[in-house]
A and B are shown apart, each in its own frame.
Chain A
Amino acid sequence: AQSVTQPDIHITVSEGASLELRCNYSYGATPYLFWYVQSPGQGLQLLLKYFSGDTLVQGIKGFEAEFKRSQSSFNLRKPSVHWSDAAEYFCAVAGGGNEKLTFGTGTRLTIIP
């Protein structure tokens, strides 16, 4: 069965600093990978997705993620965070014919001035 691990429950970074959120997946074949963001009281918004091809994926709001098959990882990065990036971030995987999204437990991002 497919699974996703987000090892960091909570991360705090200073505004303007760089950010990396970790995501490791377990899946037998090539997975389809997603990052979603959830602001307080809101639904989930898709930041980016990886299906195939270039392993570095660009998303909205200045985010990018890199698929590393050898490490079973799909880490999310941003070179300089803004206060408005404070939210909860979810990594998800799909594939294998089941096709439902399996989410990680999320990483809550706090931005300090």
Chain B
Amino acid sequence: KAGVTQTPRYLIKTRGQQVTLSCSPISGHRSVSWYQQTPGQGLQFLFEYFSETQRNKGNFPGRFSGRQFSNSRSEMNVSTLELGDSALYLCASSLGPAGAQETQYFGPGTRLLVL
């Protein structure tokens, strides 16, 4: 079975632009969670989607948004990019709603650099 895939793997943008990142979960998985990883803040939860509905959200500004499609693929959008948005964005999928007893499988991440 193919793992979680994320595209693109690397991205360079300038301040003020917007960006869309894509995540394809493991086949059959219906939950997708997004995390931001930076050297200063570590791994922080962005949001989770299950069956096309946002189920949980972290403490990020409204510039960060996401959605999930009927095939469980998910996209994350960041508008009006700031330098501090430079990070590794990780996507994780699980069979059921992300929860304590659901193992989350992570993709390799998309590294975003904002100049």
Of all chain A residues, the one with the shortest Cβ separation from B107 is A43
CB-CB < 8 A to A94: which residues of B?
99-100
Report the bound CA distance from A47 to B108 in whole Å: 16
CB-CB < 8 A to B83: which residues of A?
none
A95, B100: Cβ atoms under 8 Å? yes
A63 contacts the other chain (CB 8 A): no
Report the bound CA distance from A49 to B43 in whole Å: 18
Report whether over half of chain A's contact residues are helix, strand or loop; otherwise say mixed: loop
CB-CB < 8 A to B107: which residues of A?
43
- B42 to chain A minimum Cβ distance, whole angstroms, is 5
Report the bound CA distance from A102 to B106 in whole Å: 15
Report the bound CA distance from A67 to B105 in whole Å: 22
Which residues of B pack against A, CB within 8 Å? 4, 33, 42-45, 48, 56, 58, 90, 92, 97-101, 103-109
